[in-house]
Amino acid sequence: MSDSPAAGPPTLRAVRVAGTGSYLPEKVLTNHDLERMVETSDEWIATRTGIRERRVAAEGELTSHMAAKAAEKALEQAGLAPEDVQLIIVGTITPDTITPATACYVQQHLGATRSVAFDVSAACSGFLYALELARHSIATGAFQNALIIGAEKLSAFVNWTDRNTCVLFGDGAGAAVLLPSENGHGKVLSSHLGTDGAQAELLNIPGGGAACPITIDNVDQKLATLAMQGREVFKHAVNAMRRAAEVAIEKAGLTTDDINLVIPHQANLRIIDAIAERLGVGKDRVFVNLDKYGNTSAAAVAIALDEANRSGRLHSGDHLLLVAFGAGLTWASAVIEW
């Protein structure tokens, strides 16, 4: 008989966010600029969404370029050299190419030659899906660190003649470095992911894939651009994010009162306000930056986390609730002890 202990479930290591970074393209597109492009008004956009302006990437500036710039800042803050990165996961729905993954280009831009790199396609929940995958990869000991990124060049997939959608979206990237938590302080406490593929039609890019290739006959229909049933998505967003938030808080063994800052997906201020109200969280505990950037899909929570971090709003021991919702439908939440 062997003296070695019986093989039980593996001991999982706690995982912390060791650094964050973000990048926004220089070009600002204001609501007033949009007034000159489609039948809309600054007043409509601001009151219906809270958005005042958004960033638009330059022509040759791709999702992978923005992702790498955000990643460099996160790596610098974490004190991790690119060549020591083991895992890169990019959440995006606006990849540079259908294949290979945008994460492969990011690896190349960073010189992170020893990493494994791949994308997750979970729309606005992409960064939190990446967080969950990377956290477990480190927790099990399979990887010693991870670089997670949410990055989008949505301007390349927006129908600039459709006022229902073109006023909503923006470009940008956010990143975080995950490491094992050594001293017990600073760790991801819980997370929750969900998907409802039955609602896939509510928000999608119908063309450009194998189901509907762009041909000379349909090119005028702009099928390779975002299409959304806004009101329906709105209702699902409020309900799913509220539920996801409650599950993550409960799994963390906390109550809403213990949450110092909520960092929600930045799609619509009315959605954010509705969730905060239903959770019973005051506006002073909710991070909002969609007025400056619009909806940057997978990048939104990542950019907001970095801005909250770098503006001094996060203190050691704080409890953060990250929560997102997007096409799929997908939703995700995480509670982090900072």
Q: Catalytic amino acids?
A: 124, 265, 295
Helix axes 102-110, 63-78, angle to 10 degrees: 50
For residue 89, what are the β-bridge partners?
Answer: 118, 148
Q: Report the residue number, 112 or 240, with the smaller CB distance to ligand UT7.
A: 240
> Can you spell out the DSSP letters for 247-310?
HHHHHTT--GGG-SEEEE--S-HHHHHHHHHHHT--GGGB---HHHH-B-TTHHHHHHHHHHHH
Region of residue 332 (left: phi > 0; alpha: psi -120 to 50; beta: else): beta
CB closer to ligand UT7 out of 62 and 267 = 267
Of 117, 26, 121, nearest to 69 (Cα)? 26
Among 191, 268, 289, 333, binds ligand UT7 (CB under 6 A): 268
Query: Could you count the other beta carbons within 10 Å of the beta carbon of residue 46?
Result: 14
Tokens of 222: 């702009």
Binding status of residue 202 toward ligand UT7 by CB under 6 A:
no
Q: Is 151 in the site for ligand UT7 (CB under 6 A)?
A: no
Q: Is 231 in the site for ligand UT7 (CB under 6 A)?
A: yes
Cβ of 97: how many Cβ atoms within 10 Å? 12
> What's the maximum distance between 2 C-alpha atoms anywhere in the chain?
80
Min dist CB 307 to ligand UT7, Å, is 18
Q: Is 326 in the site for ligand UT7 (CB under 6 A)?
A: yes
Q: Which two tokens stand for residue 11?
A: 């001991």
* 118 near ligand UT7 (CB under 6 A): no
End-to-end CA distance of the chain: 45
Q: Which residues pair with 322 in a beta bridge?
A: 263, 334
Q: Smallest distance, Å, CB 323 to ligand UT7? A: 12
Cβ nearer to ligand UT7, comparing 241 with 320? 241
CA distance 202 to 106: 30
If the CB atoms of residues 233 and 303 are measured against ligand UT7, the closer one turns out to be 233
Asked if 334 touches ligand UT7 (CB under 6 A), the answer is no
Contact region for ligand UT7 (CB under 6 A) — 45-53, 76-84, 133-141, 253-261?
45-53
CA 213 to chain centre: 27
Is 88 a residue that touches ligand UT7 (CB under 6 A)?
Answer: no
Candidates 74, 149, 233, 261: give the one binding ligand UT7 (CB under 6 A).
Answer: 233
Window of 42-50, 52-60, 135-143, 153-161 that interacts with ligand UT7 by CB under 6 A? 42-50
- Shortest Å distance, C-beta 326 to ligand UT7: 4
Rule CB under 6 A: is residue 296 a binding residue for ligand UT7?
Answer: no
DSSP 10: P
Is 293 or 325 the residue whose CB approaches ligand UT7 more closely? 325
Out of 71, 227, 237, 240, the residue judged to bind ligand UT7 by CB under 6 A:
237
Tell whether residue 267 is a contact of ligand UT7 (CB under 6 A): yes
- Does 163 contact ligand UT7 by CB under 6 A? yes
Query: Cα(182)–Cα(188) distance, rounded to whole angstroms?
Result: 13
- Applying CB under 6 A, which residues contact ligand UT7? 40, 44-45, 48-49, 124, 163-164, 167, 230-231, 233-234, 237, 267-268, 271, 295, 325-326
